[in-house]
Structure 1
């Protein structure tokens, strides 16, 4: 007597549903493999095209936040000799759209939005800025300084303004690196602290404490 397998008809929709999802997963994975292959081909072509500009790209990669692709994109937009087209780093930053607007009337500033600029270069600079502020150095110190100046880390607006300031600093550095032919020189995370006048900073802190109702007596430190 043969064994007869009985299938509950209520299970069939579930089986078909699972089979459909398995097919969709295979198709998505095949699509991802295809995209990876396309990206690899494009990366190889970019590397081939960057051979004449490899020295300039390597110099740009000395700037925190700029990897091989970001450096290549920057070169593709501004070239290897930006000083021929932009007399100063400030002019390049303005062309790139990394300078804040300056709309004033009767002494009142109406808008601080960035000017429209190169729509291909702007995202690269902003992404590079976010990458740069994750590592110790001058650019992270600059970011922290401007975040605190604009409202602190709880303010999303303050962080966005600060990252634009860092992106502006990066395009400024790019101009100098390409114009001088020298790699980026790290100023250090203590740059802003080191450049302060000790006496003026002491007076500022004393005044701040006195404003809070404290009496301050300053004595020289005995070695």
Structure 2
């Protein structure tokens, strides 16, 4: 059983994760209600819960139906989208939709307030782990929220795990190929800790979008065509946990190998790939070394 401070952290981070998921579902219900009324606000606004979106929704609920007035409430980067907003806000939004949307917004606001209270409490409980928290946030894709979950679920103490492999195995991110007596058994990952798995998945997805700048991003784009996106994400989760173990064991920050690691590691393979891509476009290429200045 983990010590009491870790148990408290787990209670808090797990509850926050649950409320965040419920908040997402409530926003989806709101979007569905708007679509039922023919309002396509989400097709124009990246976040309908942003300043502009909330202003338009509040006006709709209060009875405003002039689409030009509603679209004119757009702020900042939404201003150039006003003509598109006029079309998106043209629908049959009625009293029934206003009633349900008001309830959805009240529920979302209540959840937002509760999540804020939990985050503040987690920051207090996380003070003894401030060093670990700072270290983990140097990993690509790992923000404060994810780092807090990683510490809460692993305990922040790597002494209980003999190696990084033990940690990855405990977390269920070691898919493998199992064969015995000529029979193949499932090598799929197991999900013993869904809270840790969700946090790792969030971090891996964020890291996968850093192809040009970080090693995890380059690793994902190298593996995805061959293994598929899901297995490539699991590979990144494994990499993140491996880095976590070494960082917390040795008390060091993350040292990234760089987005060009594979090109430097195997330049001939990189050149062959570039040649194939150029040939597919109908071009030939020639590589000449750059003279040192």
Larger Rg: 1 or 2?
Answer: 1
TM over 0.5: yes
Question: What is residue 107 of structure 2 aligned with on the other side?
Answer: 31
Q: Quick check: which one's helix share is greater?
A: 2
CA distance in 1: counterparts of 2:199 and 2:290, whole angstroms: 51
Question: What is residue 132 of structure 1 aligned with on the other side?
Answer: 207
Please give the per-residue CA displacement for 1:32-71, whole angstroms capped at 9, x wherever unaligned.
2111111111111111111111111010000011111100
CA distance 1:162–1:24, change in 2 (3 Å): same
Question: What is residue 193 of structure 1 aligned with on the other side?
Answer: 263
Pairwise CA distance, 1:118: 2.4
Question: What is residue 252 of structure 2 aligned with on the other side?
Answer: 182
Instruction: Find the residue that maps to 1:104 and give its secondary structure.
Output: strand
State the 4+ residue runs in structure 1 displaced beyond 4 angstroms.
218-223
Question: What is residue 151 of structure 2 aligned with on the other side?
Answer: 75
2:221 is the alignment partner of 1:144 = yes
Task: Name the TM-score, length of structure 2 as normaliser.
Answer: 0.57
CA distance 1:179–1:219, change in 2 (3 Å): closer
CA distance in 1: counterparts of 2:257 and 2:199, whole angstroms: 23
Please give the per-residue CA displacement for 1:8-44, whole angstroms capped at 9, x wherever unaligned.
xxxxxxxxx9333322222222222111111111111
Contact 1:137 1:186 in 2 (8 A): yes
Please give the per-residue CA displacement for 1:59-88, whole angstroms capped at 9, x wherever unaligned.
000001111110000000112221x11111
**Which structure is higher in RCO with an 8 Å CA cutoff and minimum separation 6?**
1
CA distance in 2: counterparts of 1:118 and 1:191, whole angstroms: 32
Query: Which sections of structure 1, spanning at least 5 residues, go unmatched?
Result: 1-16, 151-157, 210-217
Aligned length: 185
CA distance in 1: counterparts of 2:165 and 2:230, whole angstroms: 20
CA distance in 2: counterparts of 1:168 and 1:127, whole angstroms: 13
Give the aligned CA root-mean-square deviation in angstroms. 2.7
CA distance in 2: counterparts of 1:220 and 1:194, whole angstroms: 16
Please give the per-residue CA displacement for 1:167-186, whole angstroms capped at 9, x wherever unaligned.
11001011111111111011
CA distance in 2: counterparts of 1:189 and 1:219, whole angstroms: 21
Contact 2:191 2:197 in 1 (8 A): no
Instruction: Find the residue that maps to 2:179 and give its secondary structure.
Output: strand
CA distance in 2: counterparts of 1:220 and 1:131, whole angstroms: 36
Question: What is residue 4 of structure 2 aligned with on the other side?
Answer: none
CA distance in 2: counterparts of 1:20 and 1:221, whole angstroms: 70
Contact 1:101 1:115 in 2 (8 A): no
2:117 is the alignment partner of 1:41 = yes
Please give the per-residue CA displacement for 1:192-214, whole angstroms capped at 9, x wherever unaligned.
22223x6xx47x95xxx9xxxxx
The partner residue of 2:178 within 103, 106, 109 is 103
Task: Name the TM-score, length of structure 1 as normaliser.
Answer: 0.74
2:191 is the alignment partner of 1:121 = no
